[in-house]
């Protein structure tokens, strides 16, 4: 248990100094998983036998001096829409319930090159469509802070696994806030990098112009170290960017003096819980006390972000998901008379309600007669949102605001009102539309004891400013205790 309280960097240092073995770290992770997984349900598949074998191999490579990185030997969990060779990748869907990829995503290969041990695949909203991790075909994940509440989504499994102490860090994917929102709900730190920084090769696509892989961890330093490993140019991904300076750990100075921080007044208006507002403003004050210049400004275009996002994301989803037809792999209906009936029944039975809803919406906005009225208009709005951020970053280094309008809702509350669930993404989707980097860092608890996330946004390729501000805030905030620090399992309440 004490071992699982370490950050990824702390564990990596102990392994390097031979205070603990890789096999001991892997065993500790699985011991914690077996202790509380029946309650949290953060994983859909585990790879215990292979992880133990990999641990022995990696230990020998560390001992020989071949692996010298700060994360060598540290166990990691991977979201179940990121391909892992020889390990099931289901996207939380019946459609891919038995899919075993013949290759690994580039992000996973980068982790393996750095000596990471993959312990399993984490639960998620089906095909990353949802904000609660309740739409998974394998059942919902629960929030380790309070099991009556959701962990957020769609990377809820990854965030819950870190918050519950089942893994030291995890990979998630972010299409409209799917790393930052569950990080906020679970009281962990998660970053969505600049679009193109991490290869999308092997990430099963939802919205190709919006998707990005990123890390979830216990603090900013861990996220910075993981992103250094993930960031690489990949010729297999046409949107991958060649970046020359990815030494993100250098940005962790602990100093905010001289930084210009803007808070959009648009983000603090109607619909924001008072407890979240107070926590965000308290976070801004902490940075101001450290010497940062903090002021309010009008960002604009905020009310157009949700409709533009859901039109574009659903349109891309309807195209990307057309490949799942029951022909070559995945689920195929048992009874059908001809090819068209096989397509229809396989997709009807293989996809869940939320995925069907977005496919139909996407097909509608791309159809003849509606393409100009909806899809092209959404693309123009996307360009205007990017221009609004460009103007803001002429004046500010970082934009600060909430990651979500409230803390984690109760289980079952969001699925009964999909529109309300969509509106919960109001503070996160603009970042994906503009391709910007953003981080969510814990900044307090509400009256129910549920965590609140502080979101920081930087300009494209300015992750160093983001990490500098986030780390400086952590230094001002002080230590942050996850719920499992004071109890043995997820069954005993907070």
Active site residues: 79, 154, 178
Cα first-last separation, the chain: 17
- Burial class, 8, CB count within 10 angstroms (exposed 0-12 / middle 13-18 / buried 19+): buried
Q: Cα–Cα distance between 368 and 464 in angstroms, integer?
A: 44
Task: Classify 331 as helix, strand or coil.
Answer: coil
Q: Cα–Cα distance between 323 and 240 in angstroms, integer?
A: 23
Residues 149, 142 contacting (CB under 8 angstroms): yes
Q: Mark 438-463 as b/e (b = at least 16 C-beta within 10 Å).
A: bbbbbbbbbeeebbbbbbbbbbbbbb
The strand pairing partners of 168, in sequence order, are: none
Residues 465, 458 contacting (CB under 8 angstroms): yes
Q: Cα–Cα distance between 6 and 25 in angstroms, integer?
A: 10
Q: Cα–Cα distance between 268 and 401 in angstroms, integer?
A: 8
> How far is the CA of 7 from the CAs of 17, 94, 128, 456, 465, in angstroms?
15, 34, 27, 22, 22
Count H helices and E strands in the chain, helices first.
15, 11
**Strand order of the sheet with strand 293-297?**
43-46, 117-122, 75-79, 169-174, 212-217, 189-192, 438-445, 451-458, 398-402, 260-264, 293-297
> If residue 355 lies in a helix (H) or strand (E), which one and from where to where?
helix 353-365
Q: Cα–Cα distance between 245 and 363 in angstroms, integer?
A: 40
Residue in 270, 316, 251, 297 with CA at minimum distance from that of residue 464: 251
Task: Classify 191 as helix, strand or coil.
Answer: strand
Residue 382, sorted as left (phi over 0), alpha (psi -120 to 50) or beta, turns out to be alpha
The strand pairing partners of 271, in sequence order, are: none
C-beta neighbour count of 325 within 10 angstroms: 18
Q: Cα–Cα distance between 116 and 102 in angstroms, integer?
A: 20
Q: Cα–Cα distance between 16 and 100 in angstroms, integer?
A: 33
Given the DSSP bridges, would you call strands 75-79 and 169-174 parallel, antiparallel or unpaired?
Answer: parallel
């Amino acid at each position: 248990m004490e071992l699982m309280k370490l950050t990824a960097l702390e564990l990596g240092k102990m392994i390097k100094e031979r205070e603990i073995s890789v096999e001991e770290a892997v065993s500790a992770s699985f011991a914690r998983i077996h202790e509380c997984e029946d309650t949290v349900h953060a994983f859909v598949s585990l790879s215990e036998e292979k992880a133990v074998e990999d641990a022995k191999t990696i230990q020998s490579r560390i001992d020989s001096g071949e692996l010298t990185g700060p994360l060598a030997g540290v166990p990691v969990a991977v979201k179940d829409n990121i391909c892992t060779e020889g390990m099931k990748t289901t996207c939380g869907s019946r459609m891919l319930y038995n899919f075993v990829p013949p290759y690994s995503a580039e992000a996973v290969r980068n982790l393996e090159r750095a000596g990471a041990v993959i312990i399993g695949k984490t639960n998620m909203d089906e095909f990353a469509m949802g904000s609660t991790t309740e739409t998974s075909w394998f059942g919902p994940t629960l929030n380790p802070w309070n099991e009556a509440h959701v962990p957020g989504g769609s990377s809820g499994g990854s965030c819950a696994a870190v918050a519950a102490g089942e893994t030291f860090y995890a990979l998630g994917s972010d299409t409209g806030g799917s790393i930052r929102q569950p990080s906020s709900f679970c009281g962990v730190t998660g970053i969505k990098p600049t679009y193109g920084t991490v290869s999308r090769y092997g990430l099963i696509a939802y919205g190709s112009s919006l998707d990005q892989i990123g890390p979830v961890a216990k603090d900013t330093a861990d996220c910075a170290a993981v992103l250094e490993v993930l960031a690489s140019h990949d010729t297999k991904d046409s949107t991958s960017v060649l970046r020359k300076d990815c030494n993100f750990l250098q940005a962790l100075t602990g100093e905010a003096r001289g930084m210009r921080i803007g808070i959009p007044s648009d983000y603090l208006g109607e619909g924001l819980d008072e407890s979240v507002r107070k926590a965000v403003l308290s976070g801004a004050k902490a940075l101001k006390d450290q010497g940062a210049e903090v002021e309010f400004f009008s960002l604009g275009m905020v009310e157009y972000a949700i409709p533009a996002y859901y039109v574009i994301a659903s349109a891309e989803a309807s195209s990307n998901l057309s490949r799942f037809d029951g022909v070559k792999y995945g689920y195929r209906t048992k009874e059908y008379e001809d090819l068209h009936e096989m397509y229809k029944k396989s997709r009807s039975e293989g996809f869940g309600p939320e995925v069907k809803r977005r496919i139909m919406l996407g097909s509608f906005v791309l159809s003849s007669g509606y393409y100009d009225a909806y899809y092209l208009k959404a693309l123009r709005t996307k360009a205007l949102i990017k221009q609004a951020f460009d103007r803001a970053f002429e004046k500010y280094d970082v934009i600060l605001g909430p990651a979500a309008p409230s803390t984690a809702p109760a289980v079952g509350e969001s699925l009964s009102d999909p529109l309300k669930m969509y509106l919960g993404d109001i503070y996160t989707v603009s970042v994906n539309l503009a391709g910007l980097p953003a981080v969510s860092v814990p900044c307090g608890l509400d009256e129910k004891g549920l965590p609140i996330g502080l979101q920081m946004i930087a300009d494209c390729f300015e992750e160093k400013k983001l990490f500098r501000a986030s780390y400086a805030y952590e230094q001002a905030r002080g230590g942050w205790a996850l719920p499992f620090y004071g109890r043995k399992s997820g069954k005993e309440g907070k």
